[in-house]
Structure formats: C-alpha cells, structure tokens
Amino acid sequence: MDLLHQFLNINVLPPLTFIALLLLMPTFGLLKFLFSLKRYIYIENVAGKVALITGASSGIGEHVAYEYARRGARLVLVARRVDRLQVVADKARQIGSLEVIVVAADVSKVEDCKRFVEEAVNHTLDNDINFWGSVYSTHYAIPYLRKSKGKIVVISSTAALLTSPRFSFYNASKAALISFFETLRTEFDPDIGITIVTPRLIESEMTKGEILSQYAWVQVEATEVCAKAIVDSACSGDMYLTEPPWVKGLNLILNISRQIKVIKLQVLFSSESI
C-alpha cells in the first residue's frame, strides 16, 4: 500500500496537477479579469458610515483612519495610548471625518473588547463597521455586523506565508488569524464581508525595531500607500489583498520551489525503499 501511494504521489500527482493548471488557467484568467472589472466599476461609498479601527494610534491603523476620514467616514478609534489617539482624531477631523470618538482599550483583554464595541454601538453605530481587531473584538461585533451587513478587514501579514527567522510566534499568530477569519467567511457569508490583508513590510514602530534595522536592504512600503490600498480593497468587496502586489508573485515562486523539494524528497525516499 505504501508503494502504491508513493507511485501515485510521484507519477500521477505531478502530471495531473500540470494538466489541471493548463485547463484552469484560461478560466482563472477570465474570472480574474471580470473581478477586476467589477472592482473598478463598483466601489463602496463610505461617507457617513462608521469605521471602527483598533490599533489606531500608530502605523497602519493610524493611516487607515486618515484614509477613511478623507472619504467622509465616521470613526471610532481604539488603542491604549489616549494621548496619541487624540492627535490622530484631531487630524482625522481636519481631513474630513464627520465624527470621531476615541476609546482607550486593550484588544488583548476580553472585557475591553466588549466595552469598546458596545460603546461604539451605543454612541454612533447605525449603518456599517469596517473592523480591525482580534478574535474577541470580532466576537462581540458579529451581532451588529450581521444586522448591518457590515465588513471585517483583517490585518494579517505575508509572514504567515513567507516565514522569517526569529519571528516564529509572530508568524504563527498571523497564520492563525487567516485560518480563523477564513472559517468565519464560510459561516457568515454573505451577511458579513471579510477582507483578509497580508501586507509585507510597512512603515511602523515594528519595522523600526532592532532586528529589522540590521537589514538596510529590506524595502519598506509607505504606510499611506498601504492604507489607501486597504480601504480601496475593502470598499471594492475584495476577499484578499496582498500589499505590495508583487509579493504574490514571490509567494508563488516560493511555493513552487517547496513543491519541487517535496517531490525530490519523495523520489529519494522511493529509490531508497526500492
């Protein structure tokens, strides 16, 4: 039985995969073109709607807040640093947000997540949520999201797919985040739209840290560019966003390379067993 599985893995799976790719590529190309066309034709108008943003005191969260503010959204900004949140809130109002409220909370604490969702709902939430946060935050937001046909935008990372040394727990947590929200997508579609974002290296306090600062050659994307891409993607109803887009090609190459290594190992083990 083991020899049969080895035979199928080495002699059947690769050619079948190749044939399937040849047959599916034209269909995939057509679907991708149609989705791209839809994306440019339809984009959600978020003026007057609510964007509840966790981690809004700096980095991607801060600049996503500014991007929504430019589009006239009402903001609920959540983070631990109230003084920094007030600065972000003032700038968001100047840019064009109709209303901004600040909530001091820690998303790692269950009671805080429940509190800031309820505070946002009681104060101003009556239409839509574009939500960045953790599992606990989502748990308490889901009843309101389902009622308002809202959206969840998940900030994961390409580290979930392109793993980096010395970041094992970070990589694992980002991979778990993708898996969790993929499952929610199957449970709540079409009531709640979910966009999973996998950014590479974006300007933030983390990318200025000691480890990454050792690599001067590492290219970091401007936070403003990433934030605009995220809001565009959410408003277009995309399921996924990789930023910058060229990382998708790198991921594909690495996956193919891994598959080749697996096949080589299978061939090696097969020859040894024979």
Task: Using the predicted structure, report yes or no on whether residue 212 has a pLDDT greater than 70.
Answer: no
Confidence of residue 258 (pLDDT cuts 50, 70, 90): low
Asked if 55 and 107 touch (Cβ cutoff 8 Å), the reply is: yes
Residues 209-224 have a mean pLDDT of 61
CA dihedral in degrees (257, 258, 261, 267; nearest 10)?
Answer: -120
Residue 213 reports pLDDT greater than 60: no
- Please provide residue 132's backbone torsions phi and psi, each rounded to the nearest 5 degrees: -110, 130
What pLDDT, on the 0 to 100 scale, is given for residue 181? 92
Backbone φ and ψ for 270, nearest 5 degrees, come out as -65, -45
The sheet with strand 100-104 has its strands ordered as 50-54, 74-79, 100-104
Burial of 14 (0-12, 13-18, 19+ CB in 10 A): middle
- Could you give the domains of the chain? 43-243 (3.40.50.720)
Residue with tokens 């109709």: 98
Q: What is the chain's mean pLDDT, rounded?
A: 78
Residues acting as catalytic residues:
170
- Listed in sequence order, the residues at least 6 apart from 170 whose beta carbon sits closer than 8 Å to its beta carbon are 157, 159
Q: How far is CA 216 from the centre of its chain?
A: 26
Name the residue with higher pLDDT: 38 or 244: 244
> Band of the pLDDT at 218, cuts 50, 70, 90?
low
pLDDT digits (tens, 9 = 90+) for 121-176: 876 554 454 444 557 788 888 998 888 888 899 888 887 777 666 677 778 888 88
